[in-house]
Amino acid sequence: MKNLVYISLILSFVIFSSSFIWKKNFTEIGLTTSSSFYELSFESIDGNNISLSEFKGKNVLIVNTASRCGYTRQYNDLQKLQQAYPSDLVVIGFPCNDFGSQEKGSNSQILEFCQKNFGVDFLLSEKIKIKGKECHPIFTWLKSKSLNGVSENQISWNFNKFLINKQGELVSYFPSNVKPLDETITTQIN
């Protein structure tokens, strides 16, 4: 019986400590379990600080991108999608080199590549990290059910897509192979 009490105390301590450490880690990067999508921000590829609160009342499609990927051609459809819904949708590309080292360029090289080859004029962020401790806070929010309130999402490759509705709620996650103009995405943009 005495051992059972000790085990219960140890387990309680471990659970309490884990939740404290978990909350501390999110707090260190500016997130809490009550963080809203609109509290987040990012630096654009041309150096401007962009608050996601600027997009209240619009759907937002967030995509992790790379210039040397088999899915890079999706930039064309992302541009078409942005043009098809100019008042209802904001497309934001987040260049990242975490998957297959397929985004090695500098911010200026990435921007030039996207504009020259795909006519991209939708928003691009500076190059970010998605894996590990340096994960950008927007992707930390997108990946964590305790933050986004909807689902745990694992990103394992480039061109994963996250649709946020006009109220700032995560409504859908789409893996790389779902094309930007697929009905599963377009029917949710209203």
CATH 3.40.30.10, applies to 35-186: yes
Band of the pLDDT at 1, cuts 50, 70, 90? low
The tens digit of pLDDT for each residue in 24-52 reads 444 444 444 447 999 999 999 999 999 99
Mean pLDDT (the chain) is 87
**Is the distance from CB of 62 to CB of 92 less than 8 angstroms?**
yes
The tens digit of pLDDT for each residue in 143-155 reads 999 999 999 999 9
Domain spans of the chain, in order of start: 1-30, 35-186
Name the residues annotated as catalytic: 69
Closest among 97, 150, 90 to 122, alpha carbons compared: 90
Q: Which residue bears the tokens 């659970």?
A: 15
pTM of the model: 0.82
Q: Write down the number of H helices and E strands in the chain.
A: 6, 7
Mean pLDDT of 125-139: 96
pLDDT of res. 15 = 44
Give the single-character DSSP code of 135: -
pLDDT of res. 2 = 59
Q: Which residue bears the tokens 């946020």?
A: 164
Q: Is 136 exposed, middle or buried (0-12, 13-18, 19+ CB in 10 A)?
A: buried
